[in-house]
Amino acid sequence: MLTERARAEGFDVATKCSRAGDIVHAHSGQAHNMAVRATLGASITRVVTRHVAFTPRHPLVHRLKYTKTCDGIIAVSDAVREVLLLAGIPSSHITVIHTGVEVPASVERRAHDGLVVGHMGAFTPEKGQDVLVEAARALPDVRFVLAGEGALLEELKQSAPSNVSFLGFVADKAEFFAGIDVFAMPSRSEAWGLAALEAMAHGVAVIASDIQGLREIVTPDSGWVVPLAGMVDAIRMAGGNACPTGGRARAAEFGVARMAQETETFYRRLHPLS
């Protein structure tokens, strides 16, 4: 999808890494490995964005990889930066640039009966959709709408009560957010909760688990940060109280224009124009 969009905007797109260009920017560990192999011996600036906050299994290998084979690292949050520092990567090698979100000029809300709780994300253990399935059992009068695909989807479908709907992949996010009252994000690990930020951009209050990658985003004006074990109580509370309404203003602090400008500044620092 990104390839098609870039070409439609008039950018030259190569489907394989090559020695062409001044900067190679990878967005995963595997992509970085490919970039290094493709550019060995070339006078080129290599950078990588870290989108995950997992503690590395082999910190020494991690440290060597991200100090000896690249010129700079973008961490998408302070949570990611801390993991990199714990692995021994020097602070001077790391720049935090939060992933941006597009804030629509206006948003739509659809009227419905009862509280509707939404979630969007890959169905993997760290995303915590199983917590929402359990919450649905405890809150039979609340509707839960879960969007996304992944390894745990079929298993959760089999165990979910009837007040849970599974939408699969959703292309029209505006339509999805228009149909929910609260966005729940019960993550066990999160580098940067972009889905929560997207919900806020569409005017939906967020209930987030109390982990750093979400604490950096959600404020009292935009939602609630709660312990994972408190998700049921938080949803019950949201159904009986007015939800925070400052999400769109908070999301605007992390706009895509700001992200693009900070990334360009990062590029120019590592590879000044001649």
Tens digits of per-residue pLDDT, 172-205? 999 999 999 999 999 999 999 999 999 999 999 9
Cβ(253)–Cβ(222) under 8 Å?
no
> Does 226 or 30 have the greater pLDDT score?
226
Dist CA 181 CA 183 (whole Å):
7
The Cα diameter of the chain in Å comes to 64
Dist CA 274 CA 43 (whole Å):
14
Nearest 10 degrees: Cα torsion 77, 79, 81, 87: -150
Residue appearing with tokens 């992200």:
259
Report residue 116: phi and psi, to 5°: -120, 120
Q: Element (H or E) spanning 208, and its range?
A: strand 205-209
What pLDDT band is residue 16 in, cutting at 50, 70 and 90?
A: low
Lowest model confidence (mean pLDDT) among 68-72, 100-104, 263-267: 68-72
Residue appearing with tokens 């070409």:
7
pLDDT value of residue 224: 96
What pLDDT band is residue 8 in, cutting at 50, 70 and 90?
A: confident
As a whole-number percent, the residues of the chain with pLDDT over 90 amount to 72
- CA 240 to each of CA 53, 103, 114, 115, 269: distance values in angstroms, whole numbers, following the listed order: 34, 28, 11, 9, 50
Please count the residues of the chain: 274
Q: Which residues contact 260 (CB under 8 A, 6 or more apart)?
A: 100
Dist CA 66 CA 73 (whole Å):
8
Q: Which residues contact 91 (CB under 8 A, 6 or more apart)?
A: 85
Report residue 62: phi and psi, to 5°: -60, -45
Q: Element (H or E) spanning 64, and its range?
A: helix 59-68
